[in-house]
C-alpha cells in the first residue's frame, strides 16, 4: 500500500497518511496485526460525522490515533497522540507499506483489464 509521510523536516515522519479507500475498520485491522499493538478504541460500524479520531492504539507504550480530518482529501492521518516524532511510527508505517489490499472483484476487475 502507498504511504505518504507527513514530515516538516528531513528527520523522519511526524505522521503518515494512507488512502481512505482502505476503510476505517480495515485500517484498524492492519494496526492490530502489528506485534505488540493494542487497540484502545475501534472504529464504530456507524460513525458520527463529527468524529474525526476513529481509532486509538498503543504500541511500545506510546499512544497513536487514526483520524480523518474534516473535509479530508481522501486520506487518513496516523500519528502519535502527543504530536511529537517517534521512531515507533516507522513500525506502523512499515505495516501499512506491507499490507496487501484484497484483489478487486467483479466488474471493477473486468474494467481494469480492458
Residues 42, 65: Cα–Cα separation, whole Å: 11
Number of structural domains the chain divides into: 1
pLDDT reading at 11 higher than 90: no
When pLDDT is averaged across residues 20-49 and rounded to a whole number, the result is: 88
Percent over 90 (pLDDT), the chain: 55
For 80, the grid coordinates are 502519535
pLDDT reading at 108 higher than 70: no
For 42, the grid coordinates are 475501534
Query: What is the pTM (predicted TM-score) of this model?
Result: 0.80
Instruction: Give Cα separations from 65 to 76, 78, 102, 103 (angstroms).
Output: 10, 6, 24, 27
Give residue-wise pLDDT tens across range 74-99: 899 999 999 899 999 999 999 999 99
Residues 40, 13: Cα–Cα separation, whole Å: 23
Percent over 70 (pLDDT), the chain: 81
pLDDT reading at 112 higher than 70: no
Least confident stretch, 33-37, 54-58, 104-108: 104-108
If one compares 61 and 10, the residue with the highest pLDDT of the two is 61
For the CA atoms of the chain, what is the radius of gyration? Answer: 15
Q: Which domain holds residue 39?
A: 4-113
Amino acid at each position: 500500500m502507498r504511504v505518504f509521510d507527513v514530515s516538516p523536516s528531513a528527520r523522519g515522519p511526524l505522521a503518515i497518511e494512507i488512502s481512505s479507500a482502505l476503510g476505517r475498520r480495515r485500517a484498524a485491522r492492519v494496526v492490530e496485526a502489528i506485534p505488540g499493538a493494542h487497540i484502545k478504541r475501534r472504529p464504530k460500524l456507524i460513525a458520527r460525522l463529527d468524529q474525526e479520531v476513529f481509532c486509538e492504539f498503543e504500541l511500545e507504550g506510546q499512544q497513536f490515533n487514526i483520524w480523518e480530518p474534516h473535509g479530508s482529501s481522501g486520506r487518513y492521518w496516523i500519528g502519535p497522540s502527543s504530536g511529537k516524532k517517534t521512531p515507533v511510527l516507522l513500525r506502523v508505517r512499515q505495516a501499512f507499506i506491507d499490507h496487501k489490499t484484497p484483489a478487486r472483484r467483479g466488474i471493477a476487475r473486468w474494467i481494469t483489464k480492458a
